[in-house]
Amino acid sequence: MKYLAYKENRKHGTMNFPFKLYDVTPLHLRYNMILHWHNEYEIIRVTSGSLLLNIDGNDFNVKAGDIVFLKDGTLHSAIPTKCNYECFLFDMRFLLRKNYICNKEIYNILNHQKNIQLYFSKNDGEAYEILHKIFTDMKNKHKGYQFKIQGYLYYFLGVVKENNYYKNEITIAPKNKRRLSQFKKILAYIELNYSEDISLNDLAKCANMNSRYLCKFFKDMTHKTPIEYLNYYRIECACDQIYITDKNITQIALDCGFNNLSYFIKVFKKFKNMTPNQYSKKTNN
């Protein structure tokens, strides 16, 4: 079973209530959000510090009090700085009902004919307050909160329509769509093959690029070289295994594509500022 995936396949919430809140602190296993995408919509609220969000290849610095609204299929990652943040994921399709007036607007959002704006701050008044209520009620889970959450989302969509909180510009040009499609192919290849030997040419081939262009392309998208990012992903997988399995460090290194234990420890320290054994003691206490 893969615990990390660029296309996140796990369900958030339940079939009858597809809404889930994640409270992310420095102790959270995925405090640094690895690059991924999913079919749910996601609302992120930063409660302290700052969060460097990479959204479809563009960097955004989100500060305490800010809220970010991400549509489905958005490729995103995050690097926190002294930050606590919360992620609310939900299935927009769950809001479809036998109501033509509301459904028409929701279908426009689901088909990306209308894209809700990315940022919400105190200046957005009612919409901002509704989003805060969603986080509060999802956290408290008082009796009847399921009704309130669904109601808040309908209310929020109504306020969005009333105030035209949609992006007017075309958010992703055709050229950038092609770039994102190529990039997702590379990430999918890494997900499937990270435990094997992967060369620069292997990554370039899967995206129909030459290796020289791939390096520039990857640097633009992630600020890392392809091999640096491959190692970063492998270390994230290793962290998951350290946390949820009883395997020894040598076996975890091999499972994650490192044939040399010393090199694995060196790369682990580079990304986590501690050895695998230190990480194990910290996360299992």
Boundaries of domain holding 251: 174-283
The CATH number of residue 86's host domain is 2.60.120.280
Q: Is residue 23 part of a domain?
A: yes
207 and 188 in one domain?
A: yes
**What is the reported pTM?**
0.77
What does the alpha-carbon distance between residue 157 and residue 117 come to, in Å, rounded to a whole number? 12
Distance between CA atoms of 129 and 126, rounded to whole angstroms? 5
Residues 85 and 181 in one domain: no
Same domain? For 114 and 248 the reply is no
Decide if 201 is inside a domain.
Answer: yes
Tell me the per-residue pLDDT of 22-80, one tens digit each, with 9 for 90 and over: 999 887 877 888 888 888 999 999 999 999 998 988 889 999 999 999 999 888 999 99
Residue 150 and residue 185 share a domain? no
Q: In this structure, are 60 and 139 located in the same domain?
A: yes
Give the type of residue at 102. C
Amino acid identity of residue 99, one-letter, is N
Q: How many domains does the chain have?
A: 2
User: Is the alpha carbon torsion for 31, 34, 35, 39 positive or negative?
Assistant: negative
Report yes or no on 70 lying in a domain: yes
| Tens-place pLDDT, residues 115-133 | 999 999 999 999 999 999 9
Helix (H, G, I), strand (E, B) or coil at 203: helix
